[in-house]
Amino acid sequence: MAFIKSTSITFLLFILATLTLAQSYKIDASQLVETQPQLIPFSGANPSGIMLSANNRYFLKNNQPWFPLMGEIHYNRVPPQDWESGILKMKSAGLSIVATYIFWNEHETAPGVWDWKGNRDLRKFIELCAKHNMYVWLRIGPWAHGEQLHGGHPEWIAKMPGRRTNDPAYIAASTKLFNQIGVQTQGLFFNEGGPIIGTQLENEYASGQAAHITKLKQMALEAGIRPVFWTVTANTVFDDSKMEVIPLQGSYCYRGWEKAGGGPTNDFLYGDDQWIMTGALGKVYYDVSLFPRGLCEQGDGSQMMYQNRFVVEPYVEEAHLQNQIGRGMNLVGYYMFHGGTQTPGLKEPGLPESYDFQAPVGEYGIIRQSYRNLRILHQFINSFGTELVQMQPVEPLNPVRDIYDTANLRYIARVKDNSGFLFLCNTQVRIHMPDKPVTMQVKLQNETIDFPEINLKGQTTLILPFNIVVNDIRIKYATAQILSKVENKDETILFFIKPEGIDPEIAISNSTISKNANGNELTTITRLLLDTPVHFTAANGKKLTVILLSRHEAEQSLHATINGKNVLLVSNADLMVDNGSLRMEQSLPDFTLKVYPAGAISFAGNHIFSKQKNNAGFDIFNVSVNAYTARIKKRSISEKEIVLSLPRKMPANVSDVILKVDYLGASCDVLQNDKIISDNLVNGLPWLISVKRFLKEPLLKLRIHDWNDSITGVAPELVKEIKARGSMFTNIEAIPRYSVKLRLIDK
């Protein structure tokens, strides 16, 4: 019996050891064929001499490879007084292009009656984008969808038999729309010195006629609509041989049109699908070798329906974007990046009044955690996009193609000239992924790079560099993810993020640093520690500083150019750089801001602040403002209905008051003067409402609708509580949003 017991223990220990052994994964890029990109017929220059163009692999700016980042906001769904702050939040997220639909039925309110005023003032919206150096991409239809009634068609157009074809009556009506858009946008196109660089024709035109796209472009040109880039969604029928438009793709891992927001999707497999909507992995609709790969609809949320509820997880959205970059996307356009509110009477049936979309910037301009997660990758793209777009995807020999495979690692590389990035994914929407101890090997034409063992945590992703050259210093590999590259004169600062559960290291080629510049290809391996800069000097005297940040610091960071200096800002506050000033907003009256490098910038203003320097070379600024208690009076009409009396004004140091509303039920309306302004669908998250949005009227009414069993996607525990307790408000809290605006002084 003793022998059996000993054998059992030995076997158990063997099993445990086997379970913790690292799996080895390999990428073979040794046979990668470098091809010369071919220019395609889309180009233009503005009066300042800036030139935009594209080849069959990527976009270019001033003839240099360019990785554009674009986000959608619908001007008609956001009050005009909030346009500017919304644009600034998108810019501060690292985006460079603002996209928007132009919904026909928003503007032609009756046959021949056009409205371009108020929240429909397209020209003013575009001019605000230009003010903040943001490019614009217009989606002009004539058919749009976008959860708009009749897909954006006016009612009489929606009844037209020949709609969305070259039928003469439809073409005549659409010509009037394009002529109106041409008048509103006159002088605002890139070649005229304006910000409009792109135009999308139609939308998801999968069952139409290619000749219709040709006709629409001809009509738009005749109306004076003349962008640099013409696009269609990649599931649109068009004649790719004419090179009239560039197809851009779409991908949603949360799907409001499916029960409970959908299930696991292919979006996390580094696949080669061109329009991820179902399981069509590898399916294409055009010759992919002719066009650069980009996204017009990278779903960073989705619109909930009355029946279909879900919670968008920020780490999932980050993994989704990481997967897209890894599989070769060279333009990312989000739908939606900024949520909004439906125009009364113009929402698609079956949908709520709110068009919040669980977007990174919500319906009321409130920044979500997904904004911070995505900005991490935006900063990486903005630092290394020039190199990244030139790198071709290289798949492993046996890539994961099973959504439900949780044992094997999903990974891919992007490679050019024996350098690149490894993309590792241990995330799958709606499936829990276990931790994975792994070793990675990349075989190149002249060498093989072996990464040390790392433990990739579940629900995370990682991007690892290999053989990249920064300031003439070659990084053989690093086991931390690059956040941002800050360049000033002869010094470059690389900020890395410490992955959870990994003590990262960086390996530098000895032949590229001054003390070993003798052709010795051995490497210097340095352990990276938080708040401990590591300095390297190249043979030519250029300097590289490497700084490791915690994940939390990375999420709170913003790479900005201030008075001509590149800096990294780190703060728990929401940060917006605005024409020589820095705005900080948060829910606490005491602000802290870290700036690297120390001494780069100074502030002036009416605020009292202190300054100190830490060991990592950051200046630390502390600013305090007076605390404020928002007085919101509540009057209950019933358990399901409550009236709130709002303050008529707020102090200067408070930008808004956010109502955090917790309730039980199916949904809740917001009413003023007995008119529904917006609403909320219960999904398990607290409802946050801007008080500033409603200050014109003193009273705000909230009204709950009872639960019904047709609703899907809400956690069973919450459903059980709602049914047991009935519809009721459980808590309403008023949270001030403190604001500090500091004027930047050029030192």
CATH number at residue 148: 3.20.20.80
Amino acid at 476: K
Backbone angles phi, psi at 237, to 5 degrees: -75, 120
Domain-embedded: residue 297: yes
Contacts of 569 (CB under 8 A, 6+ apart): 557, 558, 559, 560, 575, 582, 593, 594, 595
Identify the weakest region by mean pLDDT among 46-60, 381-395, 526-540, 592-606: 592-606
Identify whether residues 523 and 567 lie together within a single domain.
no
Residue 745 lies in a domain: no
Which pLDDT belongs to residue 608? 67
pLDDT tens, position by position, 417-451: 999 999 999 999 999 999 999 999 999 999 999 99
Rounded to an integer, what distance in angstroms lies between the CA atom of residue 100 and that of residue 196? 11
Same domain for 143 and 279, yes or no, is: yes
Q: If you count them, how many residues does the chain have?
A: 747
Contacts of 354 by beta carbon, 8 Å cutoff, 6+ apart: 339, 341, 342, 363, 678, 679, 680, 681
| Domain presence at residue 13 | no
Q: What is the pLDDT of residue 328?
A: 95
Question: How far is Cα 70 from Cα 334, in angstroms, rounded to an integer?
Answer: 6
Amino acid at 256: G
Same domain, 229 and 344: yes
Please answer whether residues 654 and 736 qualify as being in contact, where contact means their C-beta atoms are separated by less than 8 angstroms: yes
**Among 557, 678, 482, which residue's Cα sits nearest to residue 93?**
557
Instruction: Give the total number of structural domains in the chain.
Output: 4
C-alpha angle with apex 140: 134 to 141, nearest 5 degrees?
150
Q: pLDDT digit string (tens) for 381-399?
A: 999 999 999 999 999 999 9
Question: What range does the domain containing 659 cover?
Answer: 633-736
CA distance 657 to 668: 19
571, part of any domain: yes
Residue 382, token pair as written in the block: 């903005």
Q: Do 292 and 343 belong to one domain?
A: yes
The 10 Å Cβ neighbour count of residue 140 is 25
Single out the residue of 372, 385, 485 nearest to residue 89, CA to CA.
372
Question: pLDDT at residue 16 above 60?
Answer: no
Q: What local confidence, expressed as pLDDT, does residue 14 receive?
A: 43
Convert 383-402 to b/e letters by CB count within 10 Å (16 or more is b): bbbbbbbbbbbbbbeeebee
Residue 6 lies in a domain: no
pLDDT given for residue 689 in this prediction = 97
DSSP state, residue 120: G
Residues β-bridged to residue 738: 586, 654
- pTM across the whole model: 0.95
374 & 449 share domain:
no
pLDDT of residue 156: 98
Which carries the bigger pLDDT value, residue 284 or residue 435? 435
The SS3 of residue 60 is: strand
Nearest to 324 by CA among 383, 367, 265: 265
Residues pairing with 399 in the sheet? none
pLDDT given at position 516:
56
Residue 349 scores a pLDDT above 90: yes
373 and 393 share a domain? no
- Same structural domain, 355 and 414: no
Residue 126 lies in a domain: yes
Does 349 share its domain with 421?
no
What pLDDT, on the 0 to 100 scale, is given for residue 9? 47
Helical residues (DSSP H) of 491-577, grouped into ranges:
551-555
- Would 592 be classed as within a structural domain? yes
Reduced 3-state DSSP string for 190-206:
HHHCCCEEEEEECCCCC
Which tokens belong to 560? Answer: 């900005």
Question: Dmax over Cα atoms in the chain, in whole Å?
Answer: 95
Do residues 315 and 408 both lie within one domain? no
Mean pLDDT of the chain: 93
Based on the fold, state whether residues 616 and 590 are members of the same structural domain: yes
Q: Where are the extended beta strands (E) located within 33-154?
A: 39-45, 51-55, 59-61, 64-66, 69-72, 97-101, 108-110, 113-114, 135-141
**Residue 734: other Cβ atoms inside 10 A:** 17
With contact defined as beta carbons under 8 Å apart, do 353 and 77 qualify? Answer: no
Q: Which of 560, 554, 628 is nearest to 600 (CA)?
A: 560
pLDDT-derived band at 707 (thresholds 50, 70, 90) equals very high
Query: Which of 570, 603, 627 represents a domain boundary (last residue)?
Result: 627
Q: How confident is the model at residue 747 (pLDDT cuts 50, 70, 90)?
A: low
pLDDT at 273: 63
307 has pLDDT over 80: yes
Q: Residue range 217-225: average pLDDT?
A: 98
CATH of the domain at 531: 2.102.20.10
C-alpha to C-alpha distances, 496 to 57, 93, 555, nearest whole angstrom: 28, 18, 12
Average pLDDT, stretch 638-651?
A: 94
Residue ranges of alpha helices (H) inside 104-167 are 104-107, 122-131, 155-158
| 480 and 544 part of one domain | yes
pLDDT at 17: 44
Q: How far apart are the two ends of the chain, measured CA to CA in Å? A: 81
Domain end point (choices 555, 571, 601):
555
613 in the same domain as 596: yes
On the question of pLDDT at 10 being above 80, the answer is no
Q: Which of 277-281, 320-324, 335-339, 482-486 has the lowest mean pLDDT?
A: 277-281
Give the domain-ending residue among 350, 371, 386. Answer: 386
In a domain, 52, yes or no: no
Residue 502: what residue type?
Answer: I
| Cα angle value 301/307/312 (rounded, 5°) | 20
